[in-house]
């Protein structure tokens, strides 16, 4: 199905990463590659180390071993905000929105990296600062339109139902115009209709902006339908890596994770 | 469900307001029969969690208030009981979003669930072993602080913790959230088993409609703070609207999520 | 008609006091003494020369901010404005002296506050008489000099100074430093932070320094803790001397027997033996001695309140001598304060002979060259051990004038000629 | 429906981003400004100005400062008194050594000095959080108070360590020192506070404000989406301390006139914190409401019994006052944990729905 | 060249004064140094007594109880007030403890219950309200005067190896140690201990598993009130019972953060470190910069520890996860 898709070179290369916390080994010697413009799913049973892997990629956890190559740059560890500046954005498994702020402001924080006007202009709210603010506001309004959350633009996100919060979180990540977008269970706690919406947003993002996407999800329907390639982790180790159809049929994967073969 | 003598829980026409101004439930009534598994379905923000919290009386902690209606458990009005009194009476809620005690270890978390029990250490230990057998993953994590374990593991802890209270009625809020597919089935198997073997009743708010309706005996559909449909689970499962909007099957075929995109998009353009 | 209105006008005494908060222990008897004396004049004499006295308390909790608010509130009251402000706190004194000179109300900080205000040329509206912290420090040196058989014997002696770490506590430092040069004693200053419940570090240092004398400038709980600590390191009590805010009953009582022998400066006699005291019991408490005792009559700070009231009311009387027997305005009272001359004879008439010293204030000298006494705690009462002690005005006065001149310069004040 | 927004459409993002998007709010603000600039100076008694209104303004400014830090950036600080002292003493040193410097510049430079000190003491916030940080900021409070008490240079070596605002003029009016009228001091305070409040509002609405709030709400997520904690936290400390510093200089120059270090003690820090919490964390309006509450309530309580003709002994009255004050704090915190500003907002929401309850 | 030498000498002199002389001083007068250290330890225990009350409540409910100082004052005032009315010591002690239980019940009902699940800072603010109320109430009932408190703890000075010690301080240390031991055991070996920690983590979740917040809070606040009473007795004996007693809290705060908000042994170890640290600093380094550095030094010391362990020495780890 991806003949028509324009998948490029390797964008992110995770090489032989190991991460442990005291005695707990969260990741052991995992390598994986995500290529430009593809959708890569990471799946695996609970506690397999999926979230930890995302944390390693965007610099929140520092692996004991291994290296990461992103956009041609090799690194062992870095501060999260540097990863963000390099073009990695993400959403979180436990929604991590700024609960005291409105939807609009939350998404605007995603633009923070791109806003540079110094604070004297800010303080007076004239001239360049104002202009800049409006430009970014316009961009953010596009995202709001895109995600169909116009109605909650001014609502404090703490009051939103879970599903909408996930959508706002996606908006915040998109606002940074990332090269690589990491999504941690974006569809947990949603019903089918909402999942369909979410899938649509992910696919459109991938299509229209060419954003590379790393996706963790437990809904096999979603994973199999959306992803170009699937990495399976179990107990911190990689047990399979390939196109969905191959992975789905892998006996190891069925034993460790799926329980039954999924169609 | 008809007016019936052996209802374990009946919620009558409740209205809930948050923060004095935000009206969320607009007259919700539902019933859970003794030994039943009842599913509460509905879109995001419909008010499922709010309904459960008003039953378990955890609402007040979020500055919400039941302004109208009554809630009866075993024929007795329970609106004014404290949550812990309700737990002692056998009603326990597994909250959405896990709410584990971060600074307690996994085992300590589980043990907090037995706080209201008076039947001795041995019985508690037995149930602890049972929980571990349900969730072997937790055995490895026994001594980890709950704040550090993975999302799915936390979900197991939250459910296990509720089981430790030996309840008669469990209010399960999105039990399948964040769990691997295999485990989702297992959880519902556990629900089924507890229901059959020990007569525990369940009221579950669940987004995974297909599984929920498979295990439940009765279902309510909540939209925008109102019950819009209810009926036996199998009836609901065969209802066309439910199929379309909650089960994601149209005309008997599951749509691919990739195709959904185009279909949706067209719809948007038309609108 | 106007004359009856004027005759009915009352003399208004604003009282900035503190009966609550960390320093209430000292504030209560002070306020009681001052108030009781005013009540006495009303009850016994019908006021001052027939002009009724009115007073109003304003509670500060010893806070400068609240004190300023009190000042603002009270300065507009009274038929002809307030008589005189007694800020009862060094901080408040500093804050209101500048304001008072604009509002034309005198400020009397009796023996405390801005020492430089002793120079009436720069501070026409502020008075510190009968004495000041600088004079007190000088008196202390005089006193111990005498005990050592002459000030020259102070050479090589060691003096430790334990002070409340605030503007108030620091006041005597310039004097001690200056006199150290002159008399060659060794001097060590040790600060204790508010409120002063914990002074172990200071006393450990005292223990090591092994001073011959310790001088204490404390307030509130700091005093009694200091006395207990001194006892705990077995420092001889009669070589431990407090200033006049560190030598009242509440300071020594909690230390019990260990406080016996402790000495403190004062400018009033202890005890309730004067005619004025008897009159207060009779006219204010209706003869109920027990009630008067509850009102702390005869205690050191109560008596100081009385003295304060005597100064102020006598200043009003002095002013009336010039302006006639009616309610005096602030400006008139200021004149009265500046021309106050309390002779032994007058003190006798007031029924307080021997209770306080005679004094005369002048345009130039707002401190009154005040002498100081020293009293000792016997375990049950205070006894004067050293009567009026000289305060080395030859050294102190130039210091005061220098400080006043600096203030004048900074605030662009042209000193008046006296 | 007195207070409604329907019918007020915004046709551009500029309109939507105005400080007061609603017409009613703009009117209220205009009325408030007229009252502040015209009615109060013409009608208030000196006592009102000196004892209530000027301190209210100064505290409001300090509260805005702390609110930027605690309410917007989530870093609770108990060093406010210390930072205000930096402002007060800097202003004193500046005007006594450079008597001709314009007072507005003096005030602003005091703020700048405080900002530098604020940054110094803000550095630990990069590692320490929550109540640990709150208590740790007391180090700033105690250290600064000690410093200004100990180092004589700060108070020009005068023997008592008290600083006194010297007389200074602006536009031909005496604005500080004993001869400055209450009106003059009120006006200069008002101008400074009004302008800085506006600036604060602008800052909080822009990307700086958003980065603070992001740090407050979830610092890890904020860092992961690219907000630098170092920048956000230290800028919050700097700007917050700037406000506190200016407030401190006004505290000395347009209000008390003469203070010793004790005036900047820990109670001051707490007082400002109360204002921020009672008024509403994360609300500029709340800072004003909180400051009004904390300055006015004790004065009202002190004067109330007399007003109603009771004559309680003054100590008893004070005790009651303290008790009632405590009860009021608890009461309002329970009624609306998000502060009086939120209460006001809810009232507005109710008005909007009125006559329907929801 | 000459000038440079001069400033070099000056720098050396300063460095010498800071880094060498104080230590030389300590070595040359070891007995005095020992006395300073012992004095610091004993003072530290007194701080711990106050800090302990904070820890209890924080550990059990996540509330930073600013009113602890006021509770110390209130408890001591009640005790001394009763004793002045002629009530025998033992009875007064029992009644005062009873009063603290009543205070706990009232606080739970009127303050804590309506504020379940609110942010920490809001609860903190509410406890400040309690502080005002208790201070005002205590003084209304018992007056603002200073009260002498003597419950019969001996108070004589004695000398050991050139060191001057006070019996009272020794008693205070013993009582402090006993209380810490008792409370630490209590938390470790009772069911309630675990429940308390659960409550501190998440009020709502604790409610959901059936932990009775009401009972827990009453118990904990009562115990904290009792600890406050003990602290009040010790400090009150030392400095008389009066308003400033509530300011003791400020000396307990650095102890609290250094030891960790949630650790009972932390309160005692923190107290000892702060006690010794501030005394040694004041005596050996204080004179270099004018003295009276104890107050801020205690906070700076705590701060220095926090930079290495942001949760204090024994505090619960601060969990950071996404
Ligand atoms: N900071 C940490 N400290 C200690 N252990 C950790 C930490 N972070 C993760 N772990 C452990 O590492 C393992 C992997 O966790 P991770 O969150 O990556 O799982 P996951 O694959 O995302 O699972 P889920 O599907 O349940 O979210 C878990 O067992 C967890 O307990
Ligand atoms: N504490 C609160 N304050 C204000 N509004 C709230 C609060 N909690 C929930 N709401 C609102 O109440 C409505 C119902 O929320 P609820 O959590 O009950 O929905 P839900 O059906 O459980 O949704 P989800 O599937 O997302 O969990 C939502 O619109 C939500 O915005
Ligand atoms: Mg995960
Ligand atoms: Mg829900």
pLDDT, tens only, A29-70 = 999 999 999 999 999 999 999 999 999 998 999 999 999 999
**Distance in Å, CA B100 to ligand 2 centroid:** 20
Which of D207, D211, D217 lies closest to A100 in CB terms? Answer: D217
Average model confidence (pLDDT) across chain C? 92
pLDDT band at A92 (very low <50, low <70, confident <90, very high): very high
CATH class of B1-90+167-271: alpha beta
Cross-chain Cβ contact D350/B21 below 8 Å: yes
Q: pLDDT at position E275, please?
A: 95
Taking CA atoms, what residue in D is nearest to E145? D315
Q: What is the mean pLDDT of residues E13-40?
A: 90
pLDDT band at A72 (very low <50, low <70, confident <90, very high): confident
**Distance in Å, CA A45 to ligand 3 centroid:** 9
Which of D17, D225, D229 lies closest to A137 in CB terms? Answer: D17
**Distance in Å, CA B107 to ligand 4 centroid:** 26
Please determine, for residue A2, whether its predicted confidence score (pLDDT) is greater than 70: no
Within 13 A of A57's CA, how many CA atoms are on the CB side?
A: 32
**Distance in Å, CA B224 to ligand 2 centroid:** 10
Q: How far apart are CA E111 and CA E117, in angstroms?
A: 12
**Cβ pairs C/D, distance under 8 A:** 114
pLDDT band at C2 (very low <50, low <70, confident <90, very high): very low
Q: What is the mean pLDDT of residues E160-180?
A: 88
Q: Does A257 touch chain B (CB under 8 A)?
A: yes
pLDDT band at B265 (very low <50, low <70, confident <90, very high): very low
Q: Are E322 and A55 in contact (CB under 8 A)?
A: yes
Q: What is the mean pLDDT of residues C190-214?
A: 92
Say if E9 falls within a structural domain.
no
Query: Given a contact as 3+ CB pairs under 8 Å, which chains touch B?
Result: A, D, E
Q: In A, which residues are within 8 Å of E322 by CB distance?
A: 51, 55, 60, 92-94, 96
Q: Is the dihedral of CA A51, A56, A61, A63 positive or negative?
A: positive
Q: pLDDT at position B269, please?
A: 32
Query: Given a contact as 3+ CB pairs under 8 Å, which chains touch C?
Result: D, E
Cross-chain Cβ contact D159/C98 below 8 Å: no
pLDDT band at D137 (very low <50, low <70, confident <90, very high): very high
Q: How far apart are CA C202 and CA C163, in angstroms?
A: 10
Q: What are E182-197's pLDDT values in tens digits?
A: 888 887 777 788 888 8
Share of chain C above pLDDT 90, in %: 75
Taking CA atoms, what residue in D is nearest to C168? D160
Q: Are E49 and E237 in contact (CB under 8 A)?
A: no
Please determine, for residue D105, whether its predicted confidence score (pLDDT) is greater than 90: yes
Please determine, for residue D96, whether its predicted confidence score (pLDDT) is greater than 70: yes
| CA of D263 vs chain E CAs: smallest distance (Å) | 17
Pairing of strands A39-43, A212-216: parallel
Q: Does D156 touch chain C (CB under 8 A)?
A: yes
Q: pLDDT at position D7, please?
A: 56
Say if E183 falls within a structural domain.
yes
Q: How far apart are CA E60 and CA E211, in angstroms?
A: 12
Least confident of A102-106, C14-18, C360-364, D154-158: D154-158
Is B96 near ligand 2, meaning CB less than 6 Å away?
yes
Residue pointed to by tokens 């001709």: D100
Q: The CATH number of the domain where E269 resides is what? A: 1.10.3470
In three-state secondary structure terms, A61 is: coil
Q: pLDDT at position D358, please?
A: 63
**Cβ pairs C/E, distance under 8 A:** 97
Taking CA atoms, what residue in E is nearest to D316? E140
| ipTM for this model | 0.92
Q: In D, which residues are within 8 Å of C57 by CB distance?
A: 314
Q: Does C17 touch chain D (CB under 8 A)?
A: yes
Q: In A, which residues are within 8 Å of B152 by CB distance?
A: 45-47, 218
Q: pLDDT at position C5, please?
A: 47
Which of B58, B82, B148 lies closest to E204 in CB terms? Answer: B58
Choices 1.10.1740, 2.60.40, 1.10.3470, 3.40.390: CATH for D23-353: 1.10.3470
In three-state secondary structure terms, B53 is: helix
Q: In B, which residues are within 8 Å of A185 by CB distance?
A: 151, 178
Q: What are C307-335's pLDDT values in tens digits?
A: 999 999 999 999 999 999 999 999 999 99
| CA of E129 vs chain A CAs: smallest distance (Å) | 25
Cross-chain Cβ contact B115/E203 below 8 Å: no
Q: What are E276-304's pLDDT values in tens digits?
A: 999 999 999 988 888 889 889 999 999 99
Please determine, for residue E309, whether its predicted confidence score (pLDDT) is greater than 80: yes
Longest dimension (CA), chain D: 67
| CA of B246 vs chain E CAs: smallest distance (Å) | 29
Q: pLDDT at position B266, please?
A: 35
Please determine, for residue A102, whether its predicted confidence score (pLDDT) is greater than 90: yes
Q: At what angle do helices E68-84 and E249-259 cross, to 10 degrees?
A: 130
* Cα C233 → chain centroid: 30
Q: How far apart are CA A9 and CA A24, in angstroms?
A: 34
Beta bridge partners of E241: E147
Q: What are B41-97's pLDDT values in tens digits?
A: 988 888 999 999 999 999 988 888 999 999 999 999 998 899 999 999 999 999 988
Q: In B, which residues are within 8 Å of E198 by CB distance?
A: 101, 104, 108-109, 112
Share of chain A above pLDDT 90, in %: 54
Q: Which ligand is nearest to the CA of E117?
A: 2
Higher pLDDT, D190 or B255: D190
Is B141 near ligand 2, meaning CB less than 6 Å away?
no
Task: Count the neighbouring beta carbons within 10 Å of the beta carbon of residue C46.
Answer: 12
Higher pLDDT, D33 or E320: D33
Is B225 near ligand 2, meaning CB less than 6 Å away?
no
Please determine, for residue A3, whether its predicted confidence score (pLDDT) is greater than 60: no
pLDDT band at D249 (very low <50, low <70, confident <90, very high): very high
Cross-chain Cβ contact A98/D222 below 8 Å: yes
Q: pLDDT at position D354, please?
A: 66
Cross-chain Cβ contact C205/E283 below 8 Å: yes
Superfamily of domain A1-87+178-263, CATH level 4: P-loop containing nucleotide triphosphate hydrolases (3.40.50.300)
Please determine, for residue A182, whether its predicted confidence score (pLDDT) is greater than 90: yes
| CA of E321 vs chain A CAs: smallest distance (Å) | 9
Q: How far apart are CA D67 and CA E99, in angstroms?
A: 38
In three-state secondary structure terms, B136 is: coil
Share of chain B above pLDDT 90, in %: 56
Q: pLDDT at position E1, please?
A: 47
Q: Around ion ligand 4, which residues have CB less than 5 A away? A: B 49, 96
Q: Is the dihedral of CA B20, B25, B26, B29 positive or negative?
A: negative
Average model confidence (pLDDT) across chain B? 87
In three-state secondary structure terms, C38 is: helix
- The count of domains in chain E is 1
> Angle at CA E46, nearest 5°, toward E56 and E144?
90
Cross-chain Cβ contact C221/E292 below 8 Å: no
Q: What is the mean pLDDT of residues B168-192?
A: 90
Please determine, for residue B2, whether its predicted confidence score (pLDDT) is greater than 50: no
Task: Count the neighbouring beta carbons within 10 Å of the beta carbon of residue D260.
Answer: 23
Q: How far apart are CA A119 and CA D235, in angstroms?
A: 10
Ligand 2 atom with the smallest distance to the CA of B62 is 1
Give chain E's contact residues with B (Cβ, < 8 Å). Answer: 116-117, 191, 194-195, 197-198, 200-214, 316-317, 319, 321
Backbone angles phi, psi at C164, to 5 degrees: -65, 125
Segments making up each domain of chain B, as ranges: 1-90+167-271, 100-165
Q: pLDDT at position C339, please?
A: 95
Ligand 2 atom with the smallest distance to the CA of B52 is 18
Q: pLDDT at position D310, please?
A: 76
pLDDT band at D301 (very low <50, low <70, confident <90, very high): confident
Please determine, for residue D319, whether its predicted confidence score (pLDDT) is greater than 60: yes
Q: What is the mean pLDDT of residues E16-41?
A: 91
* Cα D249 → chain centroid: 13
Please, is B156 exposed, middle or buried when counting C-beta atoms within 10 Å of its C-beta (0-12, 13-18, 19+)? buried
**Distance in Å, CA A65 to ligand 1 centroid:** 17
Q: What is the mean pLDDT of residues B136-147?
A: 91
pLDDT band at B16 (very low <50, low <70, confident <90, very high): very high
Query: Could you tell me the CA-to-CA distances from E1 to E4, E7, E9, E13 in Å, in that order?
Result: 5, 10, 12, 18
Query: Could you tell me the CA-to-CA distances from C30 to C16, C89, C97, C276, E211 in Å, in that order?
Result: 11, 12, 21, 16, 54
Taking CA atoms, what residue in C is nearest to E279? C201
Q: pLDDT at position D118, please?
A: 96
Higher pLDDT, C29 or D170: C29
Is B53 near ligand 2, meaning CB less than 6 Å away?
no
**Distance in Å, CA B154 to ligand 1 centroid:** 10
Say if E236 falls within a structural domain.
yes
Q: Which of A50, A52, A189 to mutate to test the interface with B (most CBs of B within 10 A)?
A: A189
Higher pLDDT, A115 or B23: B23
Q: Does A125 touch chain E (CB under 8 A)?
A: no
Q: Which of B18, B19, B25 to mutate to test the interface with D (most CBs of D within 10 A)?
A: B19
Q: Which ligand is nearest to the CA of B148?
A: 1
| Both structure tokens of C128 | 């510190």
Q: What are B208-260's pLDDT values in tens digits?
A: 888 899 999 999 999 889 999 999 999 988 888 787 777 766 655 667 777 76
Please determine, for residue C71, whether its predicted confidence score (pLDDT) is greater than 90: yes
Which of A58, A124, A137 lies closest to D224 in CB terms? Answer: A58
Within 13 A of A206's CA, how many CA atoms are on the CB side?
A: 28
Cross-chain Cβ contact E317/B84 below 8 Å: no
Beta bridge partners of A73: A70
Segments making up each domain of chain A, as ranges: 1-87+178-263, 99-176
């Amino acid at each position: 199905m991806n003949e028509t898709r324009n998948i490029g070179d390797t964008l992110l290369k995770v090489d032989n990463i190991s991460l442990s916390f005291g005695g707990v080994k969260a990741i052991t010697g995992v390598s994986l590659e995500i290529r430009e413009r593809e959708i890569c799913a990471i799946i695996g049973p609970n506690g397999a180390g999926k979230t930890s892997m995302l944390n390693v990629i965007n610099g929140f956890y520092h692996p004991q071993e291994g290296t990461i190559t992103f956009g041609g740059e090799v690194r062992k560890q870095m501060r999260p905000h540097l990863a963000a500046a390099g073009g990695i954005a993400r959403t979180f498994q436990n929604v991590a929105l700024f609960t005291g702020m409105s939807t609009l402001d939350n998404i605007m924080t995603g633009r923070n990296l791109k806003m540079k006007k110094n604070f004297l202009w800010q303080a007076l709210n004239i001239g360049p600062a104002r202009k800049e603010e409006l430009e970014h506001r316009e961009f953010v309004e596009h995202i709001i339109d895109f995600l169909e959350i116009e109605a909650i633009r001014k609502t404090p996100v703490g009051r939103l139902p879970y599903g909408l919060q996930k959508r706002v979180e996606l908006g915040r990540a998109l606002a940074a115009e990332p090269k690589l977008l990491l999504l941690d269970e974006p569809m947990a706690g949603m019903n089918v209709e909402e999942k369909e919406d979410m899938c649509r947003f992910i696919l459109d993002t991938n299509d229209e902006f060419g954003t590379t996407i790393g996706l963790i999800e437990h809904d096999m329907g979603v994973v199999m339908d959306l992803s170009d390639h699937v990495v399976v982790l179990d107990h911190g180790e990689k047990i399979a890596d390939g196109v969905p159809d191959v992975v789905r049929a892998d006996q190891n994967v069925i034993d460790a994770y799926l329980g039954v073969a999924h169609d | 469900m008809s007016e019936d003598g052996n209802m374990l829980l009946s919620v009558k026409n409740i209205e809930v307001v948050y923060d004095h101004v935000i009206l969320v439930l607009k007259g919700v009534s539902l019933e859970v029969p003794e030994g039943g598994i009842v599913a509460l379905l509905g879109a995001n923000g419909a008010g499922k969690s709010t309904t459960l919290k008003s039953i378990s009386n955890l609402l007040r902690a979020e500055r919400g208030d039941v302004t109208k209606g009554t809630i009866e458990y075993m024929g007795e009005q329970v609106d004014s009981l404290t949550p812990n009194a309700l737990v002692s009476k056998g009603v326990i809620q597994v909250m959405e979003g896990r709410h584990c005690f971060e600074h307690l270890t996994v085992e300590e978390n589980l043990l907090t669930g037995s706080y209201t029990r008076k039947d001795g250490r041995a019985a508690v230990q037995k149930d602890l072993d049972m929980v571990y057998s349900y969730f072997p993953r937790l055995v490895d994590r026994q001594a980890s602080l709950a704040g550090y374990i993975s999302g799915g593991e936390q979900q197991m802890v939250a459910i296990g913790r509720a089981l430790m209270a030996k309840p008669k009625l469990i209010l399960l809020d999105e039990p399948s959230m964040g769990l691997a597919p295999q485990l989702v089935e297992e959880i519902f198997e556990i629900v089924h088993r507890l229901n059959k073997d020990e007569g525990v009743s369940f009221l579950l708010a669940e987004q995974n409609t297909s599984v929920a309706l498979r295990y439940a005996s009765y279902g309510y559909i909540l939209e925008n703070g109102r019950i819009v449909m209810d009926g036996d689970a199998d009836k609901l499962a065969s209802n066309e609207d439910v199929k379309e909007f909650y089960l994601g099957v149209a005309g008997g075929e599951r749509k691919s999520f990739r195709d959904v995109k185009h279909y949706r998009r067209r719809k948007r353009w038309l609108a | 008609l106007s004359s009856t209105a004027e005759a009915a006008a009352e003399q208004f005494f604003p009282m900035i006091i503190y009966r609550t908060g960390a320093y209430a222990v000292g504030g209560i008897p002070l306020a009681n003494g001052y108030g009781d004396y005013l009540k006495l004049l009303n009850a016994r004499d019908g006021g001052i020369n027939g002009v009724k006295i009115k007073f109003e308390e304003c509670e500060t909790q010893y806070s400068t901010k609240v004190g300023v608010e009190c000042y603002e509130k009270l300065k507009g009251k009274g038929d002809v404005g307030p008589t005189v402000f007694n800020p009862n706190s060094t901080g408040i004194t500093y804050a209101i002296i500048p304001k008072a000179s604009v509002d034309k109300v005198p400020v009397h900080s009796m023996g405390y506050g801005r020492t430089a205000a002793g120079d009436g040329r720069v501070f026409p509206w502020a008075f510190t008489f009968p004495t000041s912290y600088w004079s007190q420090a000088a008196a202390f040196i005089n006193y111990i000099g005498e005990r050592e058989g002459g000030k020259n014997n102070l050479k090589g002696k060691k003096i430790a100074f334990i002070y409340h770490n605030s503007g108030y506590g620091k006041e005597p430092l310039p004097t001690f430093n200056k006199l150290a040069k002159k008399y060659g004693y060794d001097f060590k200053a040790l600060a204790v932070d508010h409120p002063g419940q914990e002074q172990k570090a200071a006393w450990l240092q005292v223990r090591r320094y092994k001073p011959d004398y310790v001088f204490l400038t404390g307030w509130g709980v700091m005093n009694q803790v200091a006395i207990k600590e001194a006892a705990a390191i077995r420092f001889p009590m009669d070589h431990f001397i407090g200033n006049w805010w560190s030598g009242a009953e509440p300071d020594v009582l909690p230390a019990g027997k260990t406080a016996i022998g402790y000495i403190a400066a004062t400018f009033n006699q202890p005890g309730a033996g004067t005619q004025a005291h008897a009159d207060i019991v009779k006219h204010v408490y209706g003869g109920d001695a027990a009630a008067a005792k509850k009102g702390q009559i005869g205690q050191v700070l109560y008596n100081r309140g009385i003295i304060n009231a005597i100064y102020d009311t006598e200043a009003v009387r002095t002013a009336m001598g010039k302006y006639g027997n009616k309610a005096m305005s602030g400006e008139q009272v200021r004149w009265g304060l500046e021309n106050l001359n309390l002779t032994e004879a007058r003190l006798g008439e007031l029924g307080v002979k021997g209770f306080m010293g005679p004094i005369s204030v002048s345009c130039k000298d707002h401190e009154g060259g005040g002498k100081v006494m020293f009293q000792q705690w016997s375990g049950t009462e205070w006894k004067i051990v050293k009567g009026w002690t000289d305060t080395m005005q030859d050294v102190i006065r130039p210091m005061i004038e220098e400080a006043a001149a600096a203030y004048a310069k900074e605030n662009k004040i042209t000193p008046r000629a006296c | 429906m007195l207070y409604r927004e329907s019918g007020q459409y915004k046709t551009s993002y500029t309109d939507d981003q105005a400080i007061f998007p609603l017409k009613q709010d703009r009117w209220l603000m205009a009325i408030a400004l007229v009252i502040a600039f015209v009615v109060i100076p013409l009608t208030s008694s000196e006592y009102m100005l000196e004892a209530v209104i000027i301190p209210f303004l100064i505290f409001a400014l300090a509260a805005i400062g702390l609110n930027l830090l605690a309410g917007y950036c989530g870093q609770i600080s108990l060093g406010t008194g210390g930072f205000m002292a930096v402002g007060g003493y800097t202003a004193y040193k500046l005007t006594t050594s450079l008597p001709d410097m314009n007072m507005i510049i003096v005030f602003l430079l005091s703020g700048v000095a405080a900002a530098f000190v604020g940054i110094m003491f803000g550095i630990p916030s990069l590692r320490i959080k929550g109540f640990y940080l709150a208590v740790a900021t007391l180090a700033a409070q105690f250290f600064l108070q000690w410093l200004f008490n100990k180092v004589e240079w700060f108070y020009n070596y005068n023997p008592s360590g008290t600083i006194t605002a010297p007389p200074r003029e602006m536009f031909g009016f005496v604005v500080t020192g004993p001869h400055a009228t209450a009106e003059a001091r009120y006006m200069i305070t008002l101008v400074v506070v009004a302008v800085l409040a506006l600036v604060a509002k602008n800052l909080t609405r822009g990307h700086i404000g958003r980065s603070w709030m992001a740090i407050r709400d979830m610092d890890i997520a904020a860092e992961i989406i690219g907000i630098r904690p170092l920048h956000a936290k230290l800028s919050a400390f700097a700007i917050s301390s700037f406000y506190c510093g200016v407030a401190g200089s006004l505290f000395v120059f347009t209000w008390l006139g003469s203070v010793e270090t004790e005036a900047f003690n820990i109670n001051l820090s707490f007082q400002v914190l109360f204002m921020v919490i009672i008024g509403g964390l994360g609300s500029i309006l709340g800072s004003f409401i909180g400051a009004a509450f904390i300055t006015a309530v004790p004065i009202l309580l002190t004067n109330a019994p007399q007003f109603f003709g009771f004559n309680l002994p003054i100590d008893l009255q004070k005790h009651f006052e303290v008790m009632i004050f405590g009860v009021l704090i608890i009461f309002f915190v329970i009624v609306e944990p998000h502060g009086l500003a939120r209460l006001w907002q809810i009232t507005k929401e109710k008005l909007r729905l009125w006559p329907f309850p929801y | 060249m000459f000038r440079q030498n001069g400033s070099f000498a000056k720098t050396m002199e300063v460095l010498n004064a800071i880094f060498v002389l104080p230590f030389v001083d300590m070595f040359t007068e070891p007995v005095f140094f020992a006395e300073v250290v012992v004095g610091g330890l004993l003072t530290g225990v007194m701080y711990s007594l106050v800090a302990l009350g904070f820890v209890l409540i924080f550990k059990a409910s996540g509330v930073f109880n600013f009113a602890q100082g006021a509770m110390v004052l209130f408890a001591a005032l009640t005790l001394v007030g009763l004793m002045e009315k002629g009530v025998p010591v033992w009875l007064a002690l029992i009644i005062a403890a009873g009063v603290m239980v009543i205070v706990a019940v009232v606080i739970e009902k009127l303050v804590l219950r309506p504020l379940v699940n609110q942010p920490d800072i809001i609860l903190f603010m509410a406890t400040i309200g309690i502080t005002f109320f208790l201070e005002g109430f205590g003084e209304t009932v018992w007056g603002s005067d200073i009260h002498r408190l003597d419950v019969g703890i001996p108070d004589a000075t004695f000398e050991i190896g050139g060191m001057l010690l006070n019996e009272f301080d020794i008693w205070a240390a013993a009582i402090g140690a006993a209380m810490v031991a008792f409370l630490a055991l209590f938390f470790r070996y009772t069911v309630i201990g675990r429940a308390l920690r659960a409550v501190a983590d998440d009020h709502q979740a604790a409610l959901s598993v059936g932990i009775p917040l009401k009972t827990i809070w009453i118990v904990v606040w009562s115990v904290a009130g009792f600890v406050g009473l003990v602290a009040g007795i010790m400090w009150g004996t030392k400095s008389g019972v009066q308003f400033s007693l509530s300011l003791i809290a400020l000396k307990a705060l650095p102890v609290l953060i250094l030891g960790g908000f949630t650790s009972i042994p932390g309160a005692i170890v923190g107290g000892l470190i702060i006690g010794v640290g501030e005394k040694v600093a004041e005596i050996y380094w204080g004179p270099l910069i004018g003295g009276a550095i104890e107050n801020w030094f205690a906070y700076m010391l705590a701060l220095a520890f926090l930079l290495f362990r942001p949760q204090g020495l024994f505090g619960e780890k601060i969990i950071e996860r996404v």
